[in-house]
Amino acid sequence: MVSLTAMLPSQEEAALAKLSSRELAAFVETKASTQQVMLSGKDGHAHHVEVPVSALRLLVDILTELGEGNTVKLIPVHAEMTTQEAADLMNMSRPTFIKLLDEGNIPYHRVGNRRKVKYTDVMAYKQEVDQQRLEALDELSSLDQSLGLGY
């Protein structure tokens, strides 16, 4: 298993990513649907590639995260995940995530003896829980105000 520190960008990589993010962001601020990108190959020849602007925006986001010293993992929206991957995404233990599945809070299906969940279903549940938390915080804040607690 690869340690987390081995996955984090070095200080040099983070600095380069931050600089690259800034420079690339200047070209993404366009209304065009594609951009031409030039890459130099090992042979020294320039190769022109047409890239969707949406992909360049994603690359800027990735470089920004790397520039802040974070590791980035891409998950396709239609991807199916293992229960461990989903638990990691939700920042909870796998047994707690399995409990959510068993309670019917998140749909899943079995592949052999393994449970698989859709990324979209996990994120929908996460958004629902986040919304409930915000509503509870608003309610607590209103209660604090009505009681004059001054928070």
pTM of the model: 0.61
Question: How high is the pLDDT of residue 1?
Answer: 47
pLDDT at 131: 95
pLDDT, averaged across the chain: 88
Please give the pLDDT value at position 106. Answer: 97
Q: How far apart are CA 77 and CA 120, in angstroms?
A: 6
Instruction: Look at residue 146 and tell me whether its pLDDT is greater than 70.
Output: yes
- For residue 22, CA distances in Å to 14, 43, 59, 84 come to 12, 27, 11, 35
Provide the percentage of residues in the chain whose pLDDT is more than 90. Answer: 58
Q: For the segment 58-101, what is each residue's pLDDT rounded down to a tens digit? A: 999 999 999 999 988 888 888 899 999 999 989 999 999 999 99
Average pLDDT over residues 6-10: 80
